[in-house]
Amino acid sequence: MAHSRNGSGLLSVDAALDRILASLSTTTTTRVLLADALGQILAEDIHATLTLPPQDLSAMDGYAVRADDVAQCPVNLTRVGEAAAGHPWTGHVELGQAVRIFTGAYVPNGADTIIIQENVDAPSEADQSVITVREGAAKGRYIRPAGLDIAAGTRALAKGSLLSARSIGLAIAAGATSAVVSKPPRIGILSTGDELVPPGQTPGPGQIISSNAAFLSAFVKSCGAEAVDLGIAIDKPGAVSNAVMAATNLDMVVTTGGASVGSHDHIVDDLADGALDFWKIAMRPGKPLIWGKIGKTPLLGLPGNPVSTAVCALVFLAPAISKLGGGTYQQQLYLATITSDLPENDQRQDYMRASLESGDDGLTMVRPAHRQDSSMMATLAHANAFIVRPPFDPPLTTGDTVTILPMPRLF
Amino acid sequence: MAHSRNGSGLLSVDAALDRILASLSTTTTTRVLLADALGQILAEDIHATLTLPPQDLSAMDGYAVRADDVAQCPVNLTRVGEAAAGHPWTGHVELGQAVRIFTGAYVPNGADTIIIQENVDAPSEADQSVITVREGAAKGRYIRPAGLDIAAGTRALAKGSLLSARSIGLAIAAGATSAVVSKPPRIGILSTGDELVPPGQTPGPGQIISSNAAFLSAFVKSCGAEAVDLGIAIDKPGAVSNAVMAATNLDMVVTTGGASVGSHDHIVDDLADGALDFWKIAMRPGKPLIWGKIGKTPLLGLPGNPVSTAVCALVFLAPAISKLGGGTYQQQLYLATITSDLPENDQRQDYMRASLESGDDGLTMVRPAHRQDSSMMATLAHANAFIVRPPFDPPLTTGDTVTILPMPRLF
């Protein structure tokens, strides 16, 4: 058994995550249509091939004029044409002239200012009619200059960006139709434990239904990766490594259970030859964590308790999937005020299940679940945030400010 | 033209959303495997068919004992058996006896307390060996009582719940394998505007690529609904209603553009017969909004500017999709301190693109984008939050607290 232990001390969450991410490399790349790319990660920059807007545009409905003409108001101008989005007016606006213009239309040559229609009296929409500008505007007002959004040849989206709906919109507008993305990582999911039976079977005495794999499969999908079910490994030496070696083309394997020092847990023994770390993480829930390789496949061993599995998946697996896909992952933390007292914290970073509430005057309130036992899945399913308490956090009183990690919608 | 205008005043965001949600009804339901149900909304409660845990379980690796035996320590006990998860020990623990036990194992009859192995000296793992308990524990310590998580017959998940990864895990553990969910709403997406050309074409003079449909399609998918591309409608009376009437089985249509009072915008005229509201919303970006029906299909008309489209989609379309699916939608707002001064706000609720940053001592800082023009998609793509400023918000100074709406990951 050649696995290393990190002394008797506990490893911090950040240090464990750094070590995991440092040893992962990115999947290969593929070109996909942007229409099919939601949630994927760019493996190459996308450069704009178009300038947006392509020319100076009107930002409002009104009249395109020359600023010199409207320096003193009211003033009468002659309407000489009309410009709408997609229907440019191709003449030249002279002194004393105005062109009726609509939002998104090119600003005609000669004009340099837009007067909004609310500030104009116009007897008709006919050309050669005389309009009265009641209130002028500074030169350039309500004009969107060419290239305001993006210029052709510049970078629209950087390698490593997540393709969200809004970034897909930008890329399409800038002239792209496809993108080179990292292939979604293939994540093998393996449960361990003699007590587990698959969903749909009736558990016998001492047995429970294997639910961690169902959670992990859904969570992996919500992170943009592909979940590969490797089934349930029994508590026998070799069962884990055999299951992993039998699978192909996995970018990573996640196991649950089998990570404690109990003599019925064999994953640690399975992963010999120095390719394994067995960590005690300074976090609650989720102290034991395995990190190593079987063959060339990275293996992340999560604890077997459902809440521990879930918290460790959010804290370690989601960033690992981002890294495999060539992206970055930043957990955004917020502050909220707690609705009850909390005792002093020990040496482990605590992830407490909690519910966000809106308090008076916009304050974000957070209510910790009454009981935090790591076997209680219902408490997890009904919570929507974690209170994250650092090691040795002093006792807290109702109304104190705490750090919260909102649960992602599909977590 | 029988559409109603709401006087000269502006409609508040909340009032507009209330009206939209009030007139939507839920899609029909279908039964799906939980393994395929990520992101869907429950149309019926899920009740547990199993009790979790089914019996009292050990929460730790150690020894199952009788509390009376360990009231005074150290004390010697005789090991009489072993219980592991999935391998119950079927005897009865008598006074002076202990059963080796591992996390997740049933607590044997007769035992009422778990001593963690760190507090026990054990010469071997052989039965009949004598172990020494160095430190006792209160009766019931480290035992998870039967039903701690959930009891058979009780509700595991309520109708209207979103099926997240963690709620799927709970439902599977509680004995379910499938669920009755609302069918994902089918949302038709129709762009309007003579200036639009489809992605992949080269825009001519005055033309731009239609990107709002690409954004909306991805966004609708990220909300768990199905996107149906209805193409581009030209700026002609009847074009919008014809395109909508030609589509089938839509739960809602979303249009972009054509909602201003410019005479080139025909959607308002198209939607006659009193089935339409044309609203001026007290929000920025996104003042004009159309809400009504074409035939029996609800129609939400968003402004044409890309950022206005996106903000209105987040504020109005996402909750509408949740309502169509029988779920609820709560935008969680947070507080953050701004990194620059902001002028007084006018009568419109302002959604400013901004970037969250982590400041000293855990403070959440938010940096407003320098320019907020509603045509600037790059600013939207690179932002990760909105600063939400209420109407008539007074001038703000660097370091003041503002309300923020974090952008969903796939928004």
C-alpha dihedral sign at B260, B265, B268, B269: positive
User: Does any domain span residue A36?
Assistant: yes
CA distance A104 to chain B (A): 8
pLDDT at B150 over 80: yes
Contact A235, A227 (CB under 8 A): no
- For residues A365 and A411, what is the distance between their CA atoms, to the nearest angstrom? 21
A171: domain CATH number? 3.90.105.10
The answer to whether residues B216 and B345 belong to one domain is no
Instruction: Give A 266-295 residues with CB within 8 A of chain B.
Output: none
**pLDDT at residue number B236:** 80
The answer to whether residues A36 and A98 belong to one domain is no
Contacts of residue B402, defined as CB under 8 A and 6 or more positions apart, other chains included, come to B335, B336, B337, B338, B342, B366, B387, B388, B389, B396
**pLDDT at residue number B385:** 97
- For residues A391 and A8, what is the distance between their CA atoms, to the nearest angstrom? 17
Digit-coded pLDDT (tens) for A352-400: 999 998 876 667 899 999 999 988 999 999 999 999 999 999 999 999 9
Q: Tell me what the mean pLDDT of segment A264-276 comes to.
A: 60
**DSSP string computed for B338-380:** ESS-BPPP-SSEEEEEEEEEE-GGGPEEEEE-S---TT-HHHH
B285 burial type by CB count under 10 A (0-12 exposed, 13-18 middle, 19+ buried): buried
* Inter-chain touch A408–B409, beta carbons under 8 Å: yes
- Point out the domain boundary residue: A164, A182, A200: A182
- For residues B154 and B74, what is the distance between their CA atoms, to the nearest angstrom? 43
The answer to whether residues B112 and B44 belong to one domain is no
A202: domain CATH number? 3.40.980.10
Task: Report which residue type is found at A401.
Answer: T
User: Does any domain span residue B230?
Assistant: yes
Contact B58, B107 (CB under 8 A): yes
Digit-coded pLDDT (tens) for B192-220: 988 899 999 999 988 889 999 999 999 99
The answer to whether residues B298 and B200 belong to one domain is yes
Q: Tell me what the mean pLDDT of segment B351-366 comes to.
A: 85
Q: Which two tokens stand for residue B220?
A: 């609708």
* CA-derived radius of gyration, chain B: 30
Query: Which member of B87, B333, B410 has the closest CB to residue A206?
Result: B87
Q: Which two tokens stand for residue B109?
A: 């009859």
Instruction: Give A 367-396 residues with CB within 8 A of chain B.
Output: 373, 375-381, 384
Instruction: Report the C-alpha dihedral over residues A216, A217, A219, A222, rounded to 10 degrees.
Output: 170
B362: domain CATH number? 2.40.340.10
How many CB atoms within 10 Å of residue B224?
A: 23
CA distance B144 to chain A (A): 8
Domains of chain B: total = 4
Buried b (16+ CB within 10 A) or exposed e, B357-382: eeeeeebbbbbbbeebebbbbbbbbb
- Point out the domain boundary residue: B301, B324, B347: B324
User: Does any domain span residue B329?
Assistant: no
Q: Tell me what the mean pLDDT of segment B393-406 comes to.
A: 95
B chain contacts of residue A84, beta-carbon cutoff 8 Å: 194-195, 235, 262, 264
B258 interfacial to chain A (CB closer than 8 Å) = no
B chain contacts of residue A261, beta-carbon cutoff 8 Å: 61
A165 interfacial to chain B (CB closer than 8 Å) = yes
CA distance A211 to chain B (A): 5
Q: Tell me what the mean pLDDT of segment A24-35 comes to.
A: 96
The answer to whether residues B262 and B165 belong to one domain is no
Q: How many residues does chain B have?
A: 411
User: Does any domain span residue A124?
Assistant: yes
Contact A408, A222 (CB under 8 A): yes
β-strand pairing of B226-233 with B288-294 = unpaired
Residue given tokens 């590969």 in the structure block: A228
* Inter-chain touch A172–B214, beta carbons under 8 Å: yes
Digit-coded pLDDT (tens) for A41-55: 999 999 999 999 999
* Inter-chain touch A38–B363, beta carbons under 8 Å: no
The answer to whether residues A288 and A234 belong to one domain is yes
Give the mean pLDDT of chain B.
Answer: 91
* Inter-chain touch A57–B104, beta carbons under 8 Å: no
CA B148 to chain centre: 27
B71 interfacial to chain A (CB closer than 8 Å) = no
Q: Tell me what the mean pLDDT of segment B67-75 comes to.
A: 96
Contact A242, A192 (CB under 8 A): no
β-strand pairing of B297-302 with B288-294 = antiparallel
- Point out the domain boundary residue: B324, B342, B370: B324
Phi, psi of A305 (to 5 degrees): -65, 135
pLDDT at B49 over 50: yes
A chain contacts of residue B85, beta-carbon cutoff 8 Å: 193-195, 206, 264
* Inter-chain touch A50–B203, beta carbons under 8 Å: yes
Residue B273 — pLDDT band, cuts 50, 70, 90?
A: low
- For residues B90 and A248, what is the distance between their CA atoms, to the nearest angstrom? 41
The answer to whether residues A36 and A176 belong to one domain is yes
Query: Which member of B162, B195, B215 has the closest CB to residue A169?
Result: B215
Q: Tell me what the mean pLDDT of segment B82-90 comes to.
A: 91
Contact A102, A139 (CB under 8 A): no
pLDDT at B60 over 70: yes
- In what helix (H) or strand (E) does residue B172 lie, and over which residues does it extend? helix B165-173
* Inter-chain touch A165–B411, beta carbons under 8 Å: yes
User: Does any domain span residue A149?
Assistant: no
Phi, psi of A60 (to 5 degrees): -145, 165
Q: What percent of chain A has pLDDT over 70?
A: 93
The answer to whether residues B196 and B276 belong to one domain is yes
Q: Is A399 left (phi over 0), alpha (psi -120 to 50) or beta?
A: left
Residue A234 — pLDDT band, cuts 50, 70, 90?
A: confident
Closest residue in A to B366 (Cα–Cα) = A334
Q: How many residues does chain A have?
A: 411
The answer to whether residues A64 and A122 belong to one domain is yes
Contact B387, B338 (CB under 8 A): yes
User: Does any domain span residue B411?
Assistant: no
Digit-coded pLDDT (tens) for B280-334: 899 999 888 999 888 889 999 999 889 999 999 999 999 999 999 999 888 888 9
A231 interfacial to chain B (CB closer than 8 Å) = no
B chain contacts of residue A228, beta-carbon cutoff 8 Å: none
Instruction: Give A 329-358 residues with CB within 8 A of chain B.
Output: 332-336, 356, 358
Digit-coded pLDDT (tens) for A204-219: 888 889 999 999 999 9
- For residues A174 and A171, what is the distance between their CA atoms, to the nearest angstrom? 5
The answer to whether residues B198 and B307 belong to one domain is yes
A63: domain CATH number? 2.170.190.11
**pLDDT at residue number B1:** 31
A chain contacts of residue B205, beta-carbon cutoff 8 Å: 88, 106
* CA-derived radius of gyration, chain A: 30
CB pairs under 8 A between A and B: 310
**DSSP string computed for B77-113:** EEEEEEEBTTB---SBPPTTEEEEE-TTPBPPBT--E
Residue given tokens 């979604």 in the structure block: A184
The answer to whether residues A257 and A316 belong to one domain is yes
Q: What percent of chain A has pLDDT over 90?
A: 76
**DSSP string computed for B265-309:** --HHHHS-TT-EEEEEBSEES--EEEEEEETTEEEEEE-SSHHHH
User: Does any domain span residue B274?
Assistant: yes
* Residue B44 or A373, more confident: B44
Digit-coded pLDDT (tens) for B17-28: 999 999 999 999
Task: Report which residue type is found at B335.
Answer: L
The answer to whether residues A107 and A132 belong to one domain is yes
Closest residue in A to B34 (Cα–Cα) = A214
Within A252-317, residue ranges assigned H as helices are 267-270, 306-312
Contact B384, B314 (CB under 8 A): no
Query: Model pTM?
Result: 0.90
User: Does any domain span residue A7?
Assistant: no
* Residue B330 or B390, more confident: B390
Residue A245 — pLDDT band, cuts 50, 70, 90?
A: confident
Query: Which member of A261, A373, A380 has the closest CB to residue B148?
Result: A373
Q: Tell me what the mean pLDDT of segment B104-133 comes to.
A: 95
In which domain, by residue range, is A190 found? 13-28+184-324
Nearest to A161 by CA among A334, A24, A38: A38
Residue A330 — pLDDT band, cuts 50, 70, 90?
A: confident
Using alpha carbons only, what angle is made at residue A35 by residues A29 and A38, rounded to the nearest 5 degrees?
65
pLDDT at A67 over 60: yes
How many CB atoms within 10 Å of residue A246?
A: 10
Digit-coded pLDDT (tens) for A393-403: 999 999 999 99
**pLDDT at residue number A268:** 60
Task: Report which residue type is found at B164.
Answer: S
Q: Tell me what the mean pLDDT of segment A329-336 comes to.
A: 88
Peptide bond just before B285 cis, omega within 30 deg: yes
Contacts of residue A163, defined as CB under 8 A and 6 or more positions apart, other chains included, come to A34, A37, A38, A39, A40, A41, A42, A157, A171, A179, A181
* Inter-chain touch A166–B380, beta carbons under 8 Å: yes
A346 DSSP assignment: -
